């Protein structure tokens, strides 16, 4: 049972034209209409208790300040005369599914002292919340999505940051990779508590690369070494969605809404995330947190880049075109299954706020690292542990998170986890166009997209891909690294597999194209943290909004209109 917390302050104050009991403890600010006031308004008919009590979690209070004139005008003259002083608490209120709004409640007090006391005590509690950012570095992509990034930031986000007393240095990018390069070399990161990107998955990818590369450089880690253990980044990343797909925001918050995302930054949420590193031999290529997709999604992305002027609709047009082309690509996929993980891609255990699969991974991370290193060392001599699949594939997708987005609310791998150190490798083998359509369609409803004979899915910690044409070309001079992968025998004839005559596709890496088809990928567990908390379950959402009865167990005593209980810690 939750331990009851001492009340810090409790008063009878006016809220609109009602007398309310307002109580604060370390975790909750709650208010409910007094019995007397309720009776006066409703005769003697009994009103339900919950209908008249509300609460805000202290860690979800945005700010408290003395009420401005426009907060109080139009109010009952008698109330404002008797209670001339007022303070406003801005707090997170849940509205539609996963959507947050900043709601204001203004309490009127009879004395200036009482009003100031409330402001001071609430501010004292807020100052104890050390996870809240005070200073942010913000990058805006003015060309992402529908080109509204700048407008969205100025109209919806900046006013909230100001209200929460967060200072922000804003950079509107002037070219692709501006944010990445600035973070890599120029930015004085000591000044900031977090980095915020305003844009889509591509913009997030820039910030991710800038931060991770900078962190490794500062700590002397060579990111071109595929076996290097990367150092986690200190700064958290916030995403204000203003792109075309915004899958990283959707899959970590549950909605694509700039105000909700800004509030997650303000309250200082923290969501660890796995990051995949992709290499070509000893050349570092890119990091990915959402989708690494070869074949279908790689081709859609390549085609859509030529149609950028169409905005987000480019994906639908390119999607339809690539679907009709119906290419497939031959190659070899090798992967290291995630053996010590408690989940699997078809267990329907969705990753939600406080996910126990991710927590389990976290608590046993150190233990597992030792075991994994031992295992990998023993793997070096033979192919033990690695599975090898040779085939013709319409799509090879590695989803490190669900990749849920408005197009596909469950995502590419609905049970993938944000921070379990694994990625879900989905292999869609050569199949008929109709079958592929059925598979795609299942991404838009609740049917299981893996329940097809031509689809398989594996939860892995590492994988490699070698397209067939390269195997044929370089069979004689296979490098040592490639030999370690222990690829299965390759075909002796050289034919192209795609109907447009191309022997290979490209990888889409969080919406950016990779210029190598042969890659090695390794999951770096919890390398970064976002200003998010994962998607809240329905009941978690309700709990946050409920009024905890313990705050009101003792009525505010004595009965004087302004009684104060100021409890010692």
Ligand X SMILES: Nc1ncnc2c1ncn2[C@@H]1O[C@H](COP(=O)(O)OP(=O)(O)O)[C@@H](O)[C@H]1O
Q: What residues make contact with Ca ion under the rule CB under 5 A?
A: 274, 400, 417, 420
Q: Does 317 bind ligand X (CB under 6 A)?
A: no
Residue 391 binding target from ligand 1PX, ligand X, Ca ion, none, CB below 5 to 8 Å by type: none
- Residue 405 site contact among ligand X, Ca ion, ligand 1PX, none (CB < 5 to 8 Å, cut-off depends on kind): ligand 1PX
Site size for ligand 1PX, by CB under 6 A? Answer: 30
Tokens of 173: 């990018």
- Under a CB-based contact definition with an 8 Å cutoff, are residues 507 and 517 in contact? yes
The span from the CA of 234 to the CA of 231, in Å, is 9
Three-state SS at 526: strand
Which partner from the list Ca ion, ligand 1PX, ligand X, none does 241 bind, CB cut-off 5 to 8 Å by kind? Answer: none
**Binding status of residue 206 toward ligand X by CB under 6 A:** yes
- Sign of the CA dihedral 392, 394, 399, 402? negative
Q: Which is nearer to ligand 1PX, 129 or 441 (CB)?
A: 441
Contact flag: residue 310 with ligand X (CB under 6 A)? no
Q: Give CA separation, 564 vs 21, 35, 54, 108, 156, in Å.
A: 11, 18, 20, 14, 37
C-alpha dihedral (264, 265, 271, 275), degrees to nearest 10: 130
Q: Which of 27, 98, 126, 143 binds ligand X (CB under 6 A)?
A: 143
Tokens for 371, please give them.
Answer: 């075991």
508-547 binders of ligand X (CB under 6 A) = 511-512
* Alpha carbon distance 478, 465 (integer Å): 14
Q: How far is the CB of 200 from ligand 1PX (least distance, A)?
A: 3
Least separation in angstroms between residue 233's CB and ligand 1PX is 20
Question: Degrees (nearest 5) of the Cα angle 137, 312, 285?
Answer: 60
Give the CA radius of gyration of the chain.
Answer: 27
Among the listed residues 61, 138, 164, 202, the single contact to ligand X using CB under 6 A: 202
Is 201 one of the catalytic residues?
yes
Place of tokens 């290499």: 279
Residue 141: CB minimum distance to Ca ion, A:
26
Q: Is the CB of 19 or the CB of 416 nearer to ligand 1PX?
A: 416
The helices-and-strands tally (H runs, E runs) of the chain is 18, 21
Residues numbered 6-35 forming contacts with ligand 1PX, rule: CB under 6 A: none
Q: Which is nearer to ligand 1PX, 352 or 443 (CB)?
A: 443
Binding residues with ligand X: total (CB under 6 A) = 22
Q: Are 1 and 102 in contact (CB under 8 A)?
A: no
Q: What are the CA-CA distances from residue 560 to residues 77, 81, 224, 556 (Å)?
A: 21, 18, 70, 9
Please state, in angstroms and rounded to a whole number, the distance separating the CA atoms of residues 361 and 341. Answer: 7
Q: Are 277 and 223 in contact (CB under 8 A)?
A: yes
Minimum CB distance to ligand 1PX smaller for 297 or for 487: 297
CB of 569 to ligand X, least distance (A): 46
State yes or no: residue 145 binds ligand X (CB under 6 A).
yes
The token pair at 227 is 């076996």
Q: Name the nearest CA neighbour of 137 among 99, 175, 173.
A: 173
Single out the residue of 133, 200, 210, 345 in contact with ligand 1PX (rule: CB under 6 A): 200
Looking at residue 156, what DSSP letter applies? Answer: I
Q: Examine residue 197 and tell whether it contacts ligand 1PX (CB under 6 A).
A: no
Output 28 or 197, the one with its CB closest to ligand X. 197
Strand-strand pairing, 512-514 and 100-109: unpaired
Neighbours of 234 (CB within 10 A): 15
Give me the catalytic one of 49, 190, 201, 554: 201
Distances (CA, A) of 498 to 308, 336, 367, 464: 25, 28, 45, 21
Q: Which stretch binds ligand 1PX (CB under 6 A): 9-17, 77-85, 152-160, 436-444?
A: 436-444
Element spanning 303, H or E: helix 296-305
133 touches which of ligand X, ligand 1PX, Ca ion, none (CB within 5 to 8 A by kind)?
Answer: none
Give the footprint of ligand X on residues 218-247 (CB under 6 A).
243-245
| Per-residue contact string for residues 377-416; x = within reach of ligand 1PX by CB under 6 A | --------------------------x-x-xx---x----
Nearer to ligand X, 226 or 293 (CB): 293
CB of 547 to ligand X, least distance (A): 40
d(CA 233, CA 217): 11
| Per-residue mark of binding to ligand 1PX, 225-264 (x: CB under 6 A) | ------------------xxxxx-----------------
174 near ligand X, rule: CB under 6 A: yes
Site residues for ligand 1PX, 279-308, by CB under 6 A, read 290-291, 297, 300-301
Pick 200 or 391: Cβ nearer ligand X: 200
CA torsion angle 334 338 344 350 (round to 10): -110
Side-chain-side CA neighbours of residue 28 (13 Å): 22
Strands 236-241 and 194-199: parallel
Least spacing, CB of residue 451 vs ligand 1PX, in Å: 16
Would you tell me which residues interact with ligand X (CB under 6 A)?
Answer: 141-145, 173-178, 199-203, 206, 243-245, 511-512
Return the active site residues.
Answer: 201
Would you tell me which residues interact with ligand 1PX (CB under 6 A)?
Answer: 200-202, 243-247, 290-291, 297, 300-301, 315-316, 319-320, 323, 403, 405, 407-408, 412, 440-441, 443-444, 508, 510-511
């Amino acid at each position: 049972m939750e331990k009851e917390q001492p009340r810090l302050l409790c008063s009878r104050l006016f809220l609109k034209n009602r007398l309310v009991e307002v109580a604060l403890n370390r975790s909750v600010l709650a208010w409910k209409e007094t019995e007397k006031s309720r009776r006066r308004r409703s005769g003697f008919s009994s009103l339900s208790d919950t209908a008249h009590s509300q609460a805000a979690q202290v860690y979800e209070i945005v700010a408290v300040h003395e009420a401005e004139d426009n907060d109080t005008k139009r109010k009952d003259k008698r109330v404002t005369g008797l209670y001339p002083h007022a303070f406003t608490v801005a707090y997170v209120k849940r509205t539609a599914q996963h959507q947050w709004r900043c709601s204001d409640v203004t309490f009127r007090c009879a004395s200036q002292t009482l009003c100031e006391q409330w402001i001071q005590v609430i501010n004292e509690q807020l100052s104890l919340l050390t996870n809240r950012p005070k200073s942010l570095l913000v990058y805006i992509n003015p060309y992402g999505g529908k080109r509204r990034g700048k407008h969205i930031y100025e109209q919806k986000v900046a006013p909230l940051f100001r209200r929460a007393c967060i200072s922000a240095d804003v950079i509107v990018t002037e070219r692709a990779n501006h944010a990445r390069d600035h973070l890599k070399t120029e930015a004085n990161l000591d000044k900031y508590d977090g980095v915020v990107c305003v844009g889509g998955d591509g913009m997030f990818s820039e910030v991710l690369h800038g931060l991770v590369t900078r962190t490794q450089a500062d700590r002397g880690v060579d990111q071109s070494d595929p076996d290097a253990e990367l150092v986690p980044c200190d700064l958290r990343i916030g995403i204000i969605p203003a792109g075309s797909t915004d899958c990283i925001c959707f899959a970590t918050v549950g909605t694509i809404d700039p105000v909700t995302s800004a509030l997650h930054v303000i309250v200082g949420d923290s969501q660890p995330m796995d990051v995949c590193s992709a290499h070509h031999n000893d050349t570092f290529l890119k990091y990915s947190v959402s989708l690494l997709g070869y074949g279908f999604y790689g081709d859609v992305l390549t085609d859509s880049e030529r149609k950028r002027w169409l905005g987000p609709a480019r994906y639908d047009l390119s999607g339809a075109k690539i679907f009709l082309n119906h290419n497939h690509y031959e190659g070899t996929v090798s992967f290291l299954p995630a053996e010590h993980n408690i989940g699997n891609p078809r267990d329907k255990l969705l990753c939600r706020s406080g996910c126990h699969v991710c927590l389990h991974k976290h608590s046993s991370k150190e233990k597992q690292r030792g075991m994994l290193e031992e295992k990998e060392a023993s793997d070096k001599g033979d192919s033990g542990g690695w599975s090898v699949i040779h085939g013709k594939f319409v799509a090879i997708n590695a989803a490190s998170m669900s990749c849920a987005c408005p197009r596909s609310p469950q995502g590419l791998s609905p049970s993938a986890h944000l921070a379990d150190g694994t990625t879900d490798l989905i292999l869609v083998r050569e199949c008929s166009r109709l079958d592929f359509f059925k598979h795609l369609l299942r991404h838009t409803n609740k049917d299981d997209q893996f329940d097809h004979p031509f689809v398989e899915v594996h939860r892995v910690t590492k994988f490699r891909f070698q397209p067939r044409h390269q195997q044929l070309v370089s069979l004689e001079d296979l490098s040592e690294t490639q030999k370690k992968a222990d690829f299965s025998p390759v075909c002796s004839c050289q034919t192209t597999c795609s109907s447009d005559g191309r022997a290979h596709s490209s990888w889409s890496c969080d919406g950016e194209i990779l210029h190598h088809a042969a890659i090695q990928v390794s999951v770096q567990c919890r390398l970064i943290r976002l200003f998010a908390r994962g998607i809240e379950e329905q009941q978690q959402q309700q709990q946050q909004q409920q009024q905890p009865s313990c705050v009101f167990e003792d009525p505010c005593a004595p009965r004087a209109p302004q009684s104060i209980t100021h409890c010692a810690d």
